[in-house]
Amino acid sequence: MTAPDVLITAGIDVGSSSIKTVVFQDRGPSGHRMLAGLAERLRRRDPLDVATETFEKALSAAGIARGDVDYIATTGEGENVPFRTGHFYGMTTHARGGLFLDPAVRAVVDIGALHTRAVLMDDRAKVLGYRMTSQCASGSGQFLENICRYLGVTIDEIGPLSLEADAPESCSSICAVLAETDVINMVSRGVSIPNILRGIHDSMAGRYVKLATAAGANGVVLVTGGLSRDAGLLAAMRDANRDLDIRTHEHAVLAGAIGAALWGGYRARRLREKGLSLTGGAA
């Protein structure tokens, strides 16, 4: 049991390649504390099964009973999670999660497996504007995963390898199909893997910083989502626009789930003020 003024909230971010779950202790104005956070790859499993499994694991890691959760917030593709209390949209949650991770942030670039979006916000995490990539796969982590397979490297290796580049090879910035053809040509011409990867990172980075500036970003920008762990991509983004202060955070991959949990706490308090209780989600 928790004190009445302390809430327990959970955030579940259902992505197209992985599910991120966090559990938070929400003390309102006194602050928030992350009790547990984890990310689980889908690996062709049913997203609802994985969401349930990661939620249970996160509760267990946090030492919280399911019945003590005051609000279960979903985001991403989580509208169908049956035990949710409420759902928030990706740009809303990444903005809130970004602000929690770095209070100086006023824009977030969320780079996921299928989409990238740049979100401009104020100091309360209110979304002021956004830009999103089209459905083309060249703006996505999925594209990078395909390239990894062609080159025979793991996704975790691409960042460090990219940083070793000495003569990056330029790559199509328009189309994933053309870019993949470029990569095959580079391999046959004997271009080194670091130079190929940095060329790809430069291509993607150019699109992301344009997206951010088109959304109105200036100053501190936090990169969130699955590719926030890619040091090579971050370096390429910093080189692509030196006016922006591009940052990330060790929990940036969890930003959506964190934002969902925090907004969930806010909503739980608002509903309590109105005398409403949505206990179904935590039952």
Partner 1 sequence: MKSAHGNSNVTELLARAQALHHDLRFENVRAWKERNGGLAVGYLPVYVPRELLWAMNVLPVGVVGGGDQVEIIRGDAYYQSYICHLPRSTIELGLNGALDVLDGVLFPATCDVIRNLSGMWMMQFPDKYVHYLDVPQDFDTGVGGAFYRHELLEIAGALEARGARPLTDAALRAAIAAYDANRREIEALYELRRREPWKVPTHELYLVLKAGLVLPVDEHTMMLEDYRRLVIRDDARRPLDQARMLITGSFCEQPPIGLIKTLERAGCYIVDDDLVAVHRWIRGDVASLAPGQPPLDALVEAFLRNGVPSAIRYIDQDKKGRDLVERVRASGAEGVVFCAASFCDPALLDQPMLVGALDAAGIPWTSFKYAENTGQFQVIREQAGTFADSIKLWSGA
- DSSP character for 167? S
* Radius of gyration for the chain, computed over Cα atoms and rounded to the nearest angstrom: 20
Which residue's structure tokens are 């025979």?
152
Q: Choose between 73 and 221: whose C-beta lies nearer to partner 1.
A: 73
Q: Give Cβ neighbours of residue 210 (< 8 Å, ≥ 6 apart).
A: none
Least distance to partner 1 from the beta carbon of 240, Å?
A: 26
Alpha carbon distance 256, 11 (integer Å): 8
Q: How far is CA 156 from CA 66, 160, 207, 232, in A?
A: 34, 8, 22, 11
CB atoms within 10 A of CB 189: 9
In the window 100-129, what residues touch partner 1 (CB under 8 A)? 126-127
Return the number of the residue (97 or 159) whose C-beta is nearest partner 1. 97
Does 94 interact with partner 1 (rule: CB under 8 A)? no
Which of 85, 133, 138, 195 is the binder for partner 1 (CB under 8 A)?
85
**The tokens of 158 are what?**
């691409």
Select from 7, 15, 23, 87 the one that contacts partner 1 (CB under 8 A).
87
Residues 257-276 contacting partner 1, CB under 8 A: 263, 266-267, 270-271
Using the contact rule CB under 8 A, the part of the chain among 78-86, 141-149, 179-187, 207-215 near partner 1 is 78-86
For the segment 24-43, give every residue that binds partner 1 (CB under 8 A).
none
* Torsions phi, psi for 23 (to 5 deg): -125, 130
**Interface residues toward partner 1, by CB under 8 A:** 71, 79-80, 84-89, 91-92, 126-127, 263, 266-267, 270-271, 278, 280-281, 283
